[in-house]
Amino acid sequence: MSLPRLGVVIVTMGTRPRELQDLLASVEKQDMRAARVVLVGNATPLTDISADVTKIPLNENLGCPGGRNVGLKMLQESGDVDVVVELDDDGLLIADDVFRKVQHLFAEDPKLGIIGFRVADEHGHTERRWVPRLRADDPMRRGLVTAFLGGGHAFSMHMLNEIGLWPSEFFFGHEESDLAWRALDARWKILYEPALVLQHPKTSPARHPAYYRFTARNRVWLARRRLPLPLIPIYLGVWIFLTMARIRSLLGLKAWWGGFIEGMRTSCGPREPMRWRTVWQMTRLGRPPIL
């Protein structure tokens, strides 16, 4: 069995230097070395990084998906990587065989497009919101899913060459759903593998100032870009209901509705709705694209 060549992309904004150094050390200690590690600095100089990595400092903050695309394009152009692992700069690989397991999983299934890692905090606990399925009570249940976490995952480069890269215009929020839905529509598989663990601090996504705005805007964009027309009002209606039930902050609600209106009024990019067979496939996997 021929094992795929593996690369790594990490995007940093320079706000977590100690965590980044620890992550790079955990990448270095893997028992299967990556062919190339690319570190992208979102409006961040990388002069203090001593690790043996390819450094790409950017003058502008392109957001998480935009920064990752810079690293992915470099790997595409180099042509020396078949699989790419992307990691949050405050994550940590606690085992030293992660890359080797990723290689074998992709080698065993040529239609495997995405592997989602299990994210756990420093105590080994996995939050329900970190499990990419509706029935999130058992984070150790492995299987095919319809989504993955952006903090730790692996992509087939062949898949990315076919479906395209991250939606950089999203900047922050729901970019994983856009890419996952495109992958499923092109008949690639998404595997949640809890044996692959990324340790990550327990933080709230709402810590980002523009969280509510981007969440609402990008959810509207996602629906307009990827859903068949009859499902758009159902999807948005479900999330309006859930949001009104969950958000307790008046400022948060104001920002969310502002983002929702922005998503309706602004361009969402090219519309390429998924096929109805993909809707059925996602439903069979336990998460129809209305939730």
Domains and CATH numbers, the chain: 6-203 (3.90.550.10), 206-274 (no CATH)
pLDDT of residue 208: 55
The per-residue pLDDT of the chain, averaged, comes to: 94
pTM for the full predicted model: 0.95
The whole-number average pLDDT for the span 109-124 is 96
Are the beta carbons of 67 and 58 closer than 8 angstroms? yes
Strand partners, 199: 92, 120
Tell me the pLDDT tens digit for each residue of 194-213. 999 999 988 666 555 589 99
pLDDT of residue 209: 59
Tell me the pLDDT tens digit for each residue of 265-279. 999 999 999 999 999
The H or E element that residue 144 is part of is strand 143-144
**Residue 143, phi-psi category: left (phi > 0), alpha (psi -120 to 50), beta (remainder):** left
- CA–CA dist 111, 186 (Å, integer): 10
pLDDT of residue 204: 63
pLDDT above 70: percentage of residues in the chain: 97
pLDDT of residue 136: 84
Model confidence at 249, pLDDT cuts 50, 70, 90, reads confident
pLDDT of residue 172: 92
The whole-number average pLDDT for the span 154-160 is 98
- CA–CA dist 40, 56 (Å, integer): 5
Statement: residue 174 has pLDDT above 70: yes
pLDDT of residue 48: 87
DSSP-H helix ranges across 11-156: 17-28, 63-78, 98-108
Burial 141-171 (b: 16+ CB within 10 A, else e): eeeebbbbbbbbbbbbbbbbeebebbbbbbb
pLDDT of residue 2: 85
The whole-number average pLDDT for the span 161-188 is 97
Quick one: 46 exposed, middle or buried, by C-beta within 10 A (0-12, 13-18, 19+)? Answer: middle
